[in-house]
Amino acid sequence: DGGITQSPKYLFRKEGQNVTLSCEQNLNHDAMYWYRQDPGQGLRLIYYSQIVNDFQKGDIAEGYSVSREKKESFPLTVTSAQKNPTAFYLCAASVGGSPLDTQYFGPGTRLTVL
Amino acid sequence: QQPVQSPQAVILREGEDAVINCSSSKALYSVHWYRQKHGEAPVFLMILLKGGEQMRHEKISASFNEKKQQSSLYLTASQLSYSGTYFCGTETSGTYKYIFGTGTRLKVLA
């Protein structure tokens, strides 16, 4: 069953701690994305990667870091430098980085920083 | 710059029609439309390309107005299952980076 998995679904952390959100895909897609969604708001791009070992900052990259060592994995680390990390985080993948490509989303991780 | 969607929210009776607009201040190459149910991931509906034809997904269709840099989503004879938040995702030429709109919350009542 192909798709994108994100774990965990809910995550609680203390303020000042780094936390890593997992995103795995078995679609064999080249491009992967991380978005942040706040209540009642749209999706904002954090980072994206069009190919293994390469990634670019999105619109709100400050306080976040990513890696893309394998095609199927694109973990996101929320660092203590992120001022307001509580949000719903969505990972997505597309065949390539072309504007013709559909983005397939994972189920999301809801991060709450206490 | 995030595309602006209008209206922000709309409530319909089953069977009624609605239009959701997505406007950008930048020249668009493509527009994607997604629907998100509460607490779930967005699901792709359709894509429109600059210079392309109007697209359709069941009773939902969309158009792309290049002059206005705007896309419109038309929901015809709405069903209860249409309820959710609709997002447009835009890509300006050559950036390979998607920017999603502010979202439109749609509620269909029986």
List, for residues B37-79, the tens digit of each pLDDT value.
988 888 989 888 877 677 777 788 998 888 888 999 999 999 9
Q: How far is A42 from chain B (nearest CA, A)?
A: 5
Whole-number pLDDT of residue A2: 64
| B104-109/B9-13 β-pairing | parallel
Q: How far is CA A103 from the centre of its chain?
A: 13
Contact yes or no for B41 and A105 at CB 8 A: yes
Q: How far is A107 from chain B (nearest CA, A)?
A: 5
Residue A24 in tokens: 């795995």
Q: Which stretch of A20-24, A76-80, B25-29 has the lowest confidence by average pLDDT?
A: B25-29
In b/e form, how buried is each residue of A89-104, taking b as 16+ CB within 10 angstroms? bbbbbbeebebebbbb
Mean pLDDT of A95-101: 74
Judging contacts by C-beta atoms under 8 Å, the chain B residues touching residue A100 are: 30, 47, 49
What's at A106, amino acid-wise?
G
pLDDT digits (tens, 9 = 90+) for A5-40: 998 999 999 988 999 999 999 999 999 999 999 987
CA distances from A30 to A38, A56, B5, B42 (A): 27, 14, 30, 20
Q: Chain A within 8 Å of B61 (Cβ-Cβ)?
A: no
Contact yes or no for A42 and B44 at CB 8 A: no
Beta bridge partners of A37: A43, A88
Tell me which residue in A33, A103, A107 faces B44 most closely, judged by beta carbons.
Answer: A103
- pLDDT value at A1 more than 60: no
- pLDDT value at A61 more than 60: yes
DSSP state of A73: B
Tell me which residue in A41, A100, A107 faces B103 most closely, judged by beta carbons.
Answer: A41
Confidence class for position B20, pLDDT limits 50, 70, 90? very high
Per cent of chain A over pLDDT 90 is 73
Contact yes or no for A103 and B100 at CB 8 A: no
Whole-number pLDDT of residue B102: 86
Contact yes or no for B40 and A107 at CB 8 A: yes
Q: Are B13 and B108 in contact (CB under 8 A)?
A: yes
